[in-house]
């Protein structure tokens, strides 16, 4: 609640799902062969947004969870080892701390948090 107005309502899973429309994914990978770098960059840009490159990882944002296997297949199709794929999920504390910064999120559920 904020000034008597319910900002969020719903089950924990529903709140997390609604709050995080975009998924931040980090892929820890092995060496990228030089002949595949441009192809990988181009295809990742078509699958995701906000692609950030590190030396042994790439962080990107996808709009749907079902795009994550496509990202994995892209790396493996180019013979690039994938060591780990991590999806960032906000904690309930982060959701509630950020709630006052945005408009109320209309959630329809009988469970209230």
**60-107 tens-digit pLDDT:** 999 888 999 999 999 999 999 999 999 987 777 776 666 655 443 333
Whole-Å CA distances, 111 to 12, 24, 29, 60, 67: 9, 27, 40, 32, 29
pLDDT for residue 112: 35
Predicted pLDDT of residue 83: 98
> What pLDDT is recorded for position 88?
87
Residue 88, CB half-sphere, CA atoms under 13 Å: how many? 17
**What pLDDT sits at residue 93?**
76
- The answer to whether the predicted template modeling score (pTM) of the entire model surpasses 0.85 is no
What percent of the chain is predicted at pLDDT more than 90? 52
Query: Are β-strands 82-88 and 57-62 bridged in parallel, bridged antiparallel, or unpaired?
Result: unpaired
C-beta separation of 69 from 82 below 8 A: no
What pairs with residue 62 in β-bridges? 23
Residue 76 is predicted with a pLDDT of 96
C-beta neighbour count of 19 within 10 angstroms? 20
pLDDT value for 87: 92
Residue 25 has pLDDT above 80, yes or no: yes
């Amino acid at each position: 609640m904020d000034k008597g107005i319910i900002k969020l309502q719903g089950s924990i899973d529903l709140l997390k799902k609604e709050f995080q429309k975009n998924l931040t994914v980090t892929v820890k990978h092995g060496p990228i062969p030089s002949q595949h770098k441009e192809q990988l960059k181009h295809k990742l840009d078509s699958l995701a947004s906000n692609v950030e490159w590190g030396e042994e990882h790439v962080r990107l944002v996808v709009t749907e969870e079902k795009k994550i296997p496509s990202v994995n297949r892209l790396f493996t199709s180019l013979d690039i080892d994938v060591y780990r794929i991590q999806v960032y999920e906000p904690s309930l504390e982060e959701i509630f701390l950020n709630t006052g910064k945005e408009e109320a999120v209309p959630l329809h559920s009988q469970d209230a948090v």
